[in-house]
Structure 1
Amino acid sequence: MTDLSLESTVATIAAELPGAAELFRRYGISFCCGGKMLLSEAALKAGIAPSALLTELETLKRSASRDAPEETADLIAHLLHRYHQTHRAELAWLIPLAQKVERVHGGHPSAPVGLSQALEALRDELESHMMKEELVLFPMMQRGDGATISYPIAQMRREHDDEVEHLRTIEHVTHGLILPDGACGSWTALYTGLRKLTEDLVTHMHLENAVLFPRFEAGLQTI
């Protein structure tokens, strides 16, 4: 990800750094509607010393890629099994659960109106994105293709930006994934699942943008 600083926006940090979104939620810092706010401003508004918040984020950055395999072939396999398969499985039950919560609690002021639609849009774009990686980009990497690989990598980076917009929509319609008092079991399970899905997706994109893709952009095709 881009270098962390107090001049970074909270939206950029939440989209690129695994764990940052949950940290911001804990401090009541909005990164969807108020996402253009600088980290320094957001910290002061939340009553936190900017340097202390930056230190917490730097700790997250140091551990962001710690659990991923080092070798490129192993990293690709990790992305396929840990993230591609998991996203598909989780969206398959989160979407109908979101539909149920919207249908039953649509009149509640905290209802996540529009959530199922946002998840369907994310599913459709993510499925297309992952298929391109599985059928085109990852095989090119495993073959060691060089000159022609820059275009699909650039396309995947652009599609990651689109996925970030879906994450911001989800954050917005769920009011920061904050459950109302007395939320039922279905609503609670939905938001628990969404926290994992959104965090997984940020980690997935981080591993590709910051770890895997630069190896090929720099010509370091170590399989």
Structure 2
Amino acid sequence: MISHTGTLFNDGPLRRVVEAAVRARESQGALDLDDEVRRFVRTAGAADSSRWVLPVVAVAALLDHTADLLRSEGVAFFPREFTERLDKARDDVPGEEFLRTLAGRVRMADQELDAGFDELPLADWEAAARFPELLGFGPNWIYDGEFPLLSEAQVAFRSPGPGSRGASFGTALFPLSCVRGGGSARVLGLGNPASGFGVRGSSAVVQPVGKRRGVGKTFPPSPPRYGEQV
């Protein structure tokens, strides 16, 4: 009989948090674990629907529950993929202790204001998860030479068509200074330094303001309508 409970540990929020710890450890100091956890919390709370389905505090509780299972049931209870991923993340820290530490970091990040993209740049994995419509924005809309100015490419990209809603919202959210040269540049396809991105025809775009969860709602301004200058 095939057990489907392993998915709880091999996919979903538990996997995402442990993967964040793996990225931080394997980066050899380039990434900070607290920053990666803050990015996870920012992504998990980006939509009202995701907060309704699985609040961040529930993710922290799941980490604590997994630590309890690791103590009571042992490593053999879990899928091999999960324990291997946990081993990469924890180094020489006991697994139960490491999971509880992660739970505490998640709770702490959830109590803080959401970090703006100028303070905590958008990571490549974060951009791909939140704005999949923006994949290939650079090569498809800027570098092929159809539009001489970045502002013209942005207006065309926001025009009605398949995926335009998500693309419009995503491009309105990104300050150019946070996209250019950052991890999200790889997702957007903005890695060509000879393109002049951010120089020719560029202008500031709106940035989402932080919010404290559970205390009202704060929404970013609506993206410009088709034909408006950015």
Give the alignment's TM-score, normalised by structure 1.
0.29
Higher helix share: 1
Higher relative contact order (CA 8 A, sep 6+): 1
Give the alignment's TM-score, normalised by structure 2.
0.28
Structure with higher Rg: it is: 2
